[in-house]
Chain A
Amino acid sequence: MKRQIPVLLAFLTGTFVVVAFFVSAPVVVGLNEKLDELLMIVTAFALPLGVVSFLQHHSKKIGRRSIGWRNSIVSVASFAVMASLGIVEPFVSAQGRAVGFNWLFDTVFTPLQATMFSLLAFMIASAAFRAFRVKNLEAAILMISAVIVMLGRVPIGKFVLPPSAALTEWIMNVPNLAAQRGILIGAALGAASMAIRIILGIERPYMGGAGE
């Protein structure tokens, strides 16, 4: 029963959602809406699960003094402060805003993320110099396309290579579109076949592993 009930639930809900897409009977639509509400609630429960996993991982690292255990202390302390302020905010503005939480978010988290992503510009320049080598025809096509798009996407490109903007539009609308469409169709077919396997109980990732 421990196996059959989850598989039966997955089969029934999966089949129902597919059928509901094509049927507009009020009973089906109403039940489908209830499933959406249930999904929102279930998704919210993923958050506490993530918190437990995060705390388990870092407390183990701290307890065993593993490599980077001091970073784990910072992670756990940051989590504790942000979560506490998010749940019980002692500083609330006249407009009802959480002052402490937002202050930490705006002055610590946002600049840290900005710093990390700003470093990409330096890394890309260095990597372009060292690794972007025209070793064969494919690499040459890639490099020429990259240079055209890089010029076509900035205002100065008009002065350096006047047709770059038009060429960029063509690259985006023809070769890029063809490749993206192929990838998307492939991924969609893969997702559909995986969904069928889950509905039929052949794959059971929700039970902690694949089926036999």
Chain B
Amino acid sequence: MSDAQQVGGIDRRWVYLLVAVGALLPVLIPMGLPILTTPAVEALFQRVESFGPQDVLMLSFDYGPSSAPELDPMADAILRHCFTRGVRVVVLALFPLGGPNMAQGSLDRVTGEFSVEEGRDFVYLGYKDGAQAVMRRMAEDISAAFPRDHRGIPLKEIPLMQEVRGYPQIGVAVSLATGILGEYWANLVNAQFGQTVAVGATAVSAPKYYTYLKAGQMIGLLGGLKGAAEYEELLASAYPELRDRARVARRGMDVQSIVHLIIIVFILLGNVFYVLSRSERTRAGGRLGPR
């Protein structure tokens, strides 16, 4: 085995160790790297920024625990933004494997920070199966899809829901989605009912949403932890009192920075060894001569 092949055949446990150290160090020693914002995130932020206490935002938790590290910070940041501005929020969950727990967890984390009252400032409708049918049914009458909220209280008895009948009363619907649910919001709720929609998606799903964003079927897109960090950054810049609370994703970007660098270094090293071992093989073949 040549030198290049020997170094290239490095034990994978060294790779794992380096990634572990690279992920751990920024957690122990935060780097505070600056976050650049993008137009897709700014658009949603500015839309919420234009809202007041008379407006309502619909927040759909369309993800489970596997996507929580990326999407939970988005949910928390959007809820904090709404409650800071007095924007009322209608929360629901359409993802069966943990959507309701994600919604409840986010509400538990954020509502305690503000003097908000359930039923007046926000309402949590709970979970309903049959995503597309639920989205269509909510167009004119949310109570047809969710007759009661998660506590079992009929919607007609909830003050906020007496004003909000369907999409016409919703300023923007934001879906934090894994899988195809976010696409339904764009290609069904927006296309069929004209509802303004924005989506927060995992980094691996984000590229497919650019088609909807450019077609005007979505007003904003938060892609992965980066999208969450951008929203946190915009929030912290506009409301300095939230800087210490809205920072989970921003701190996570330090970790992602180092791990991405490690992966890039490994890609480059792997190719250097590949080129070297190939040229060594060619030279060895040249020395042997033609058979």
Residues of chain A at the chain B interface (Cβ within 8 Å): 21, 33, 36-37, 39-44, 47, 96-97, 102, 105-106, 109-110, 113-114, 116-117, 121-122, 124-126, 128-130, 132-134, 143, 146-147, 150-151, 153-158, 160, 165, 169, 172-173, 176-177, 180-181, 184
Contact = CB atoms under 8 A, between A and B. Distances in A.
Interface in B181-218: 192, 203, 207-208, 210-211, 214
Contacts of B214: 173, 177
Contacts of A169: 38
A165 B230 CA distance: 13
Interface string B90-134: 000000001001001100000000000000000000001110111
B28 interface: no
B98 A156 contact: no
Contacts of A125: 15-16, 18-19, 259, 262-263, 266
Contacts of B38: 169
B111 to A, nearest CB: 12
Interface in B152-170: 152
Contacts of B257: 154-157
B146 to A, nearest CB: 11
A155 B33 CA distance: 6
A37 B144 contact: yes
Contacts of A37: 133, 137, 144
B210 A128 contact: no
B260 A154 contact: yes
A181 B213 CA distance: 11
Contacts of A21: 192
Contacts of A129: 10, 12, 15, 266-267, 269-270
B263 A124 contact: yes
Interface string B271-285: 100100000000000
A116 B270 contact: no
B15 A126 contact: yes
Contacts, number: 150
10 contacts: A128-B263, A129-B269, A132-B267, A147-B267, A150-B264, A151-B260, A153-B226, A173-B214, A177-B214, A180-B208
B267 A128 contact: yes
A154 B259 CA distance: 10
Given A37-B144, A40-B128, A153-B224, 16 more contacts: A37-B133, A40-B133, A42-B130, A47-B129, A113-B66, A125-B16, A129-B15, A129-B270, A134-B271, A143-B271, A154-B33, A154-B253, A156-B257, A158-B36, A176-B210, A177-B211
Interface in B1-41: 10, 12, 15-16, 18-20, 23, 33-36, 38
A165 B36 contact: yes
A184 B208 contact: yes
Contact of B129 (A44, A105, A106, A184): A44
Contacts of B264: 147, 150-151
